[in-house]
Amino acid sequence: MNSSSQVTKTKRRAWIERGIAIVAVLNLLLVLFDLTYLNVRSLYFQTIPSLVQMYDPVKGIHPHPETQRYLAKVAALEVQLTQSGVPEVEPSLTELRSYSDRLIQDHPFPNNGTLATIQQNLQSRTAAKTSFVAFDRFWSQDYLAQDNWQTELAFWNQQIQPLMAANYYRQVNRFGQSIDYFWLIDLPFVLVFAIDIAIRDRAIRRDLELSRLESLLRRWYDLFLLLPLARWLRILPVTLRLQQVGLINSGLLEAEVRRDFTIGFAKEITQVVGIQAIDQMQNAIRRGDVMRWLLYPETRRTYVQVNDCNELEVIISRLADITVYQVLPQIQPELDQFIYHSLHHIVEEFPGYRQLQIVPGMSRLPKRTTERLTKNFSQNAYQSLVKIWSDPEISEIKNQLIKSFRASLAVELQKKHNTKEFEDLLIDMLEEIKINYIKGITNAEIDHILDEVKQLDRTA
């Protein structure tokens, strides 16, 4: 086959697919109309009566005989009132009151809201507290004579009569189910869809060498076009077909739906993983694994070391270095003040200090002496500490000191009351993290994370 004929065939196939997509849209509109017809029929009855007359037979709908008889009685009453006046129609009014009581008791309306609307309108019109009283009062000589029967019947024809006239009943088949002939309208569309699916299935199996089952699974959503039940599901294949032929662009909608799904899924996964991790850490603390892991690294089983060192000893050593080289110089003024007050308190305790204060010129001597001692002690002590701490010969002693500190700490932490206190504190801290951070993760935070991920993908 030459290229021109191939292009022609491709274009023809594209036009066929577009035509079938339009047919699917028309079918979907008919399905939605049929599904909502009974709920909207009252509106159709008042605005498009010809549509109701045409479509009622499809749903097996007939005017309800009880309400039709009632309306016929009202029409006859109106003729009598025109010809003879109110005093001559008491038998007809009595009959209407009886019909009204039966109407309320039998409730021949498939839609409960219809009778409720009729009752509310009549109760409001007659100022009656119940629907029985409202009907009896409306169909009485005193009421019609007092309030002008023409006005009241005009109200009836405008507010009540359309609701009653729209009342209906549906025929049932021998199985007790309501008659519905929509399947006859839907059948031509289903045949068109079946033929199209068969042609697509054959082409896919030929081009991709797939089995019949694999081919059907490739376009599983098309099967909704053939189902006689739950026809509203056809919205899925119709939407996909419209997108495939280029009649709509649902890319933004798909992206938003996918994003909403990702946010919800990520939130659940984050909470589950975070809570599970914290629960495992709490269980490890209760078993004493954390203390053994920190204080006795040599007992760790099947543990992957990132580097060949004891992290606890390194942390202690690093904290000591930071304290000596960075923290102490920053707090030296406060340290000098502390040493000064301590020495001054010691000097005050010397014998004869108070007698010395009485001697002229000697009252300030202890203070000056204390200040000089404080300054010399603070500077010399810190310089000596730095010199000693930096001395390579002291390194071994320092390492031994850290090991001894760790060993002593381990001994103390192994004491039951200390271990219990630290374990409880760690467990409570993890529980607070779980409540305040893991369980408190919001959709907005996940949404922000997804925005950051998207930004990283763009810059990568």
Q: Let me know whether 211 and 291 are in one domain.
A: no
Position 81 scores a pLDDT of 85
Residue 277: inside a domain, yes or no? no
Residue 317: inside a domain, yes or no? no
How do residues 40-77 score in pLDDT, each as one tens digit? Answer: 888 898 889 999 999 999 999 999 999 999 999 999 98
Position 425 scores a pLDDT of 73
Are 42 and 168 in contact, with CB atoms under 8 Å apart?
no
Instruction: Please tell me the distance from the alpha carbon of residue 190 to that of residue 203, in angstroms, as a whole number.
Output: 20
Position 104 scores a pLDDT of 87
**Does pLDDT of 209 surpass 80?**
no
Higher pLDDT, 216 or 260: 216
Residue 199: inside a domain, yes or no? yes
Per-residue pLDDT band at 365 (split at 50, 70, 90): very low
Which residues is 63 bridged to in the sheet?
Answer: 168
- Encoded tokens for 114: 């219809």
Residue 358 parent element (H or E): helix 353-358
- Encoded tokens for 353: 């200090």
Q: Let me know whether 291 and 344 are in one domain.
A: yes
Position 58 scores a pLDDT of 92
Position 353 scores a pLDDT of 46
**Does pLDDT of 239 surpass 70?**
yes
Domain boundary residue, one of 142, 170, 198: 170
**Does pLDDT of 11 surpass 50?**
yes
Q: Let me know whether 332 and 423 are in one domain.
A: yes
Position 406 scores a pLDDT of 64
Q: Let me know whether 231 and 117 are in one domain.
A: no
Q: Let me know whether 186 and 232 are in one domain.
A: yes
Q: Let me know whether 426 and 455 are in one domain.
A: yes
Position 31 scores a pLDDT of 94
Q: Let me know whether 193 and 335 are in one domain.
A: no
Q: Let me know whether 160 and 219 are in one domain.
A: no
pTM: 0.54
Per-residue pLDDT band at 444 (split at 50, 70, 90): low
Q: Let me know whether 40 and 84 are in one domain.
A: no
Instruction: Please tell me the distance from the alpha carbon of residue 446 to that of residue 260, in angstroms, as a whole number.
Output: 10
Residue 84: inside a domain, yes or no? yes
Domain boundary residue, one of 170, 190, 215: 170
How do residues 379-426 score in pLDDT, each as one tens digit? Answer: 666 666 666 666 666 667 667 776 776 667 666 656 666 667 767 777
Residue 127: inside a domain, yes or no? yes
Per-residue pLDDT band at 243 (split at 50, 70, 90): confident
* Exposed/middle/buried for residue 7 (C-beta within 10 Å: 0-12, 13-18, 19+): exposed
Q: Range of 156's domain?
A: 61-170
Per-residue pLDDT band at 363 (split at 50, 70, 90): very low
Three-state helix/strand/coil letters over 84-113: HCHHHCHHHHHHHHHHHHHHHHHCCCCCHH
Instruction: Please tell me the distance from the alpha carbon of residue 140 to that of residue 37, in angstroms, as a whole number.
Output: 37
Highest mean pLDDT among 64-68, 198-202, 246-250, 295-299: 64-68
Residue 455: inside a domain, yes or no? yes
**Does pLDDT of 223 surpass 90?**
no
Q: Tell me the residue length of the chain.
A: 460
How do residues 80-89 score in pLDDT, each as one tens digit? Answer: 888 877 677 8
Q: Let me know whether 137 and 240 are in one domain.
A: no
Q: Let me know whether 40 and 138 are in one domain.
A: no
Domain boundary residue, one of 170, 199, 217: 170
Higher pLDDT, 142 or 434: 142
Torsion angle of C-alpha atoms 179, 185, 190, 191, degrees rounded to 10 = 120
Residue 319: inside a domain, yes or no? no
Q: Let me know whether 227 and 84 are in one domain.
A: no
Which residues is 169 bridged to in the sheet?
Answer: 62
| Minimum mean pLDDT range among 2-6, 104-108, 172-176 | 2-6
Handedness of CA 168, 172, 176, 178 (dihedral sign): negative
**Mean pLDDT confidence for 2-20:** 75
Residue 137: inside a domain, yes or no? yes
Position 359 scores a pLDDT of 46
**Does pLDDT of 118 surpass 80?**
yes
Amino acid identity, position 365: L
Position 143 scores a pLDDT of 86
Domain count, the chain: 3
Enumerate residues 6+ apart whose C-beta is below 8 A from 223: 197, 216
Instruction: Please tell me the distance from the alpha carbon of residue 135 to that of residue 101, in angstroms, as a whole number.
Output: 8
- Encoded tokens for 236: 């899925």
Per-residue pLDDT band at 454 (split at 50, 70, 90): low
Average pLDDT of every residue of the chain: 75
Position 261 scores a pLDDT of 59
Position 198 scores a pLDDT of 87
Instruction: Please tell me the distance from the alpha carbon of residue 392 to that of residue 376, in angstroms, as a whole number.
Output: 26
**Does pLDDT of 218 surpass 90?**
no
**Does pLDDT of 362 surpass 60?**
no
